[in-house]
């Protein structure tokens, strides 16, 4: 009965929404907007988008990815947390909320933004943060009452000044000049990050550093040290919800750490040695609330999660590809790969033969040619495989890399016209776990878990079966190779291997680990110790039905097909919607879903196939977890 009453109340509020001829919206006040958010949350946990007043063309974005209502958190939310920090922008018809939800029973932080147009939700934005510890802490966290105080009209500043003041925070943090003007901070300013106060506190370690003094300082004093200079760029700043009554702003954006800064001289006389976590390019998707008092920043509440480097929100304007073809033989294509890699290592894109309209993506996101790998790649490793498709003018590469002190694997696709590169697609996976007893990188902060951790020790040389020369009668046309690979994908998705052209001695490796016929493979569910998929052969794995039950291969594309070598380099996104905790398999029966698949996740995946006599004989698979629904950044 209470749920029905709440819906009636919200409907009554929304019925007051009036859009006059001027286009300025009036009628939905703070209570109306907060009730709207509450109705939306109730619909979310009910997994029923029809219970929220969504516009027919509503834009739904979760963690920067455009999804459809019913996907993502709509499938997996199972409960709501007690903490509710609202921001109401009455003039713009927007509401923001910092809260927590339960995702398949596990606490997660949620930042929610809704936009109301003519009584319907036209935009819905989720930032879902995989930090269960802080999400649980939010249930007992006490919001500073100052956030909820309305500022008397005579003491308020305009919307424009509120936004400009909040933006000074980002302008000051970006590359953090210790000599900058930070007088925009209130003398009593405090910042909270994931329920932890990180200013004016007793000494304690901050972030990934070994510095314990930083948290003892106030907001202005922290910026005056220069400590935050490893934040090299803050992009996509959107001051989405401006609460004029409470003089507060809820902002969204991306913190880029390009991985090139190793030591930062501090104004205190010391040196901040940037930790290994920032040895490779990283982007943090963020949302922050700002409370402005006396025209200065008085309170900050910060929430953040890691995203692929260079990622943009779906609310940003995406770049478009320019597909161009042209003639180039194998030696020419291989040379272009080498030249681009050398230019990356030299950190100078002008040394590569690039067309003026070249488009570069890294892990599915458009970057400038002085960013990402162009700033951090320091060496090539010993693993290297080249593919050439003379017909389409495309070159492929799969090889080991080093960025500063972090090893990884790089998939590269180039497209050229008359010897000039017009497209570059890079997909890189880095070592995130201790290597040879040394902490090289830290597990991706608050990111989705890995099913199979990447092990750079597995990439010293290509497996002999991948490089073997095909004899007479063993090779196939490019079209036949592509057809064989697609039949493999179809069989994988259906859970039936009978129609797949799979060799009896087929082998699979995933992230450098043996993933077929492996006697040391572990059970997926301890309650079924005999079901160890990676101990099975390629065909038996498909027939087990595990992949078909938990995954969907999306946007699969052939990057480069090299018929002379019998190689095909493919890429795609493997979606794990995490909408079931129990999996029914045809032979094993019901098993528990692996822990890594209990959070909606998409794996950016590269697969190298060896096709011999029309049969798939080897698969080298490299994957990394990302936000659910992420795209490759290129058309299929």
- What's the Cα-to-Cα distance from 462 to each of 11, 333, 538, rounded to whole Å? 63, 20, 19
Write down the pLDDT at residue 305.
Answer: 96
Average pLDDT of the residues in 152-180: 96
pLDDT digits (tens, 9 = 90+) for 500-516: 999 999 999 999 999 99
From start to end of 511-614, where are the E strands? 513-514, 552-562, 567-576, 582-585, 589-592, 601-612
* Rounded Cα gap, residues 575 and 451, in angstroms: 13
Q: Within 495-600, where are the H helices?
A: 538-544, 546-550
- What's the Cα-to-Cα distance from 95 to each of 86, 90, 115, 123, 172, rounded to whole Å? 7, 8, 7, 11, 27
Q: Are 230 and 251 in contact (CB under 8 A)?
A: no
pLDDT at 576 over 50: yes
pLDDT digits (tens, 9 = 90+) for 592-615: 998 888 999 999 999 999 999 999
Write down the pLDDT at residue 436.
Answer: 61
Write down the pLDDT at residue 444.
Answer: 64
Question: Residue 519 — pLDDT band, cuts 50, 70, 90?
Answer: very high
- What's the Cα-to-Cα distance from 575 to each of 7, 417, 555, 566, rounded to whole Å? 33, 34, 10, 28
Q: Write the Ramachandran bin of 557: left for phi over 0, alpha for psi from -120 to 50, otherwise beta.
A: beta
Residue 395: both structure tokens together: 């070159």
Where does 148-307 sit in CATH, by number?
A: 3.10.450.50
Dihedral sign from CA coordinates of 25, 31, 34, 35: negative
DSSP 179: T
pLDDT digits (tens, 9 = 90+) for 376-419: 999 999 999 999 999 999 999 999 999 988 899 999 999 998 88
pLDDT digits (tens, 9 = 90+) for 26-70: 479 999 999 999 999 999 999 999 999 999 999 999 999 999 999
pLDDT digits (tens, 9 = 90+) for 350-365: 999 999 899 999 999 9
One of 3.10.450.50, 3.30.70.2190, 3.30.70.100, 3.60.10.10 is the CATH number of 322-430, namely 3.10.450.50
pTM of the model: 0.84
* Rounded Cα gap, residues 197 and 361, in angstroms: 37
pLDDT digits (tens, 9 = 90+) for 432-441: 866 566 555 5
Write down the pLDDT at residue 96.
Answer: 98
* Rounded Cα gap, residues 130 and 107, in angstroms: 8
Pairing of strands 567-576, 552-562: antiparallel
Write down the pLDDT at residue 361.
Answer: 96
The C-alpha R_g of the chain, in whole angstroms, comes to 26
DSSP string, 192-250: EETTEE-SS-SS---TTSS-SSGGGS-HHHHHHHTGGGG--EEEEEEEEEEETTTTEEE
Label each residue of 599-626 as H, E or C: CCEEEEEEEEEEEECCEEEEEEEEEEEE
Largest CA distance in the chain: 87
Average pLDDT of the residues in 220-225: 98
Write down the pLDDT at residue 85.
Answer: 98
* Rounded Cα gap, residues 124 and 43, in angstroms: 13
pLDDT digits (tens, 9 = 90+) for 90-148: 999 999 999 999 999 899 999 999 999 999 999 999 999 999 999 999 999 999 999 99
Residue 348: both structure tokens together: 């100078």
Mean of pLDDT over the chain: 91
- The CATH 3.10.450.50 portion of the chain extends over 2-136, 148-307, 322-430, 459-636
Task: State the CATH architecture for 2-136.
Answer: Roll (3.10)
Q: Does domain 459-636 have CATH number 3.10.450.50?
A: yes
* Rounded Cα gap, residues 115 and 122, in angstroms: 6
CA atoms within 13 A on the CB side of 318: 17
């Amino acid at each position: 009965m209470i749920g029905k009453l709440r819906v009636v109340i919200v409907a009554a509020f929304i019925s007051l929404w009036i859009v006059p001829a001027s286009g300025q919206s009036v009628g939905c006040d703070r209570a109306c907007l907060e009730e709207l958010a509450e109705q939306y949350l109730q619909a979310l946990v009910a997994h029923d988008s029809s219970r929220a007043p969504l516009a027919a063309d509503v834009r739904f974005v979760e963690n920067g990815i455009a999804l459809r209502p019913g996907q993502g958190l709509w499938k997996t939310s199972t409960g709501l947390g007690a903490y509710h920090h609202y921001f109401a922008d009455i003039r713009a018809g927007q509401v923001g909320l910092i809260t927590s939800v339960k995702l398949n029973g596990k606490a997660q932080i949620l930042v929610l933004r809704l936009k109301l147009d003519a009584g319907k939700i036209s935009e819905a934005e989720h930032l879902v943060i995989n930090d269960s510890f802080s999400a649980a802490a939010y249930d007992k966290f006490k919001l500073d009452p100052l956030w909820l105080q309305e500022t008397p009209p005579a003491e308020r500043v305009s919307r424009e000044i509120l936004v400009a003041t909040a933006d000074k925070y980002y302008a000051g943090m970006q590359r953090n000049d210790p000599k900058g003007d930070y007088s925009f901070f209130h003398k009593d300013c405090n910042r909270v990050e994931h329920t932890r106060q990180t200013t004016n506190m007793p000494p304690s370690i901050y972030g990934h550093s070994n510095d314990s003094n930083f948290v003892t300082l106030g907001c202005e004093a922290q910026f005056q040290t220069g400590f935050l200079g490893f934040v090299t760029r803050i992009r996509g700043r959107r001051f989405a919800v401006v609460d004029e009554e409470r003089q507060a702003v809820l902002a969204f954006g991306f913190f880029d750490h390009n991985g090139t800064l190793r030591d930062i001289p501090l104004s205190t006389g010391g040196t901040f040695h940037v930790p290994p976590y920032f040895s490779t390019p990283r982007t943090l998707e963020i949302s922050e609330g700002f409370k402005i008092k006396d025209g200065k920043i008085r309170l900050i509440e910060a929430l953040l999660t890691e995203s692929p480097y260079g990622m943009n929100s779906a609310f940003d304007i995406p770049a478009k590809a320019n597909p161009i073809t042209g003639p180039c033989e194998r030696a020419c294509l291989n040379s272009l790969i080498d030249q681009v890699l050398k230019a990356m290592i030299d950190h100078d894109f002008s040394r590569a033969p690039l067309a003026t309209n070249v488009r570069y993506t890294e892990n599915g996101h458009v970057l400038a040619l002085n960013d990402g790998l162009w700033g951090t790649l320091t060496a090539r490793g010993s693993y290297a495989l080249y593919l050439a498709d003379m017909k389409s003018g495309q070159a492929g590469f799969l090889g080991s890399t080093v960025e500063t002190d972090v090893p990884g694997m790089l998939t590269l696709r180039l497209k050229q016209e008359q010897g000039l590169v017009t497209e570059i697609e890079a997909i890189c996976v880095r070592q995130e776990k201790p290597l040879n007893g040394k902490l090289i990188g830290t597990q991706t902060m608050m990111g989705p878990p890995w099913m199979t951790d990447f092990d750079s020790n597995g990439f010293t040389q290509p497996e002999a079966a991948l490089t073997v020369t095909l004899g007479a009668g063993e090779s196939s046309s490019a079209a036949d190779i592509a057809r064989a690979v697609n039949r493999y994908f179809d069989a994988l998705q259906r859970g039936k291997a009978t129609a797949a052209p799979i060799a009896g001695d087929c082998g699979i490796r995933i992230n450098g680990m043996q993933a077929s016929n492996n006697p040391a493979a572990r059970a997926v569910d301890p309650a079924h110790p005999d079901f160890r998929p990676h101990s099975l052969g390629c065909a038996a794995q498909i027939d087990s039905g595990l992949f078909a039950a938990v995954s969907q291969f999306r946007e699969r594309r052939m990057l480069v097909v090299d018929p002379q070598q019998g190689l095909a380099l493919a890429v795609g996104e493997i979606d794990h919607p995490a909408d079931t905790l129990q999996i029914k398999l045809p032979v094993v029966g019901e098993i528990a879903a692996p822990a890594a698949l209990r959070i909606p996740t998409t794996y950016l995946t590269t697969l190298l196939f060896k096709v011999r006599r029309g049969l798939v004989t080897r698969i080298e698979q490299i994957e990394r977890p990302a936000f659910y629904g992420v795209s490759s950044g290129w058309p299929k």
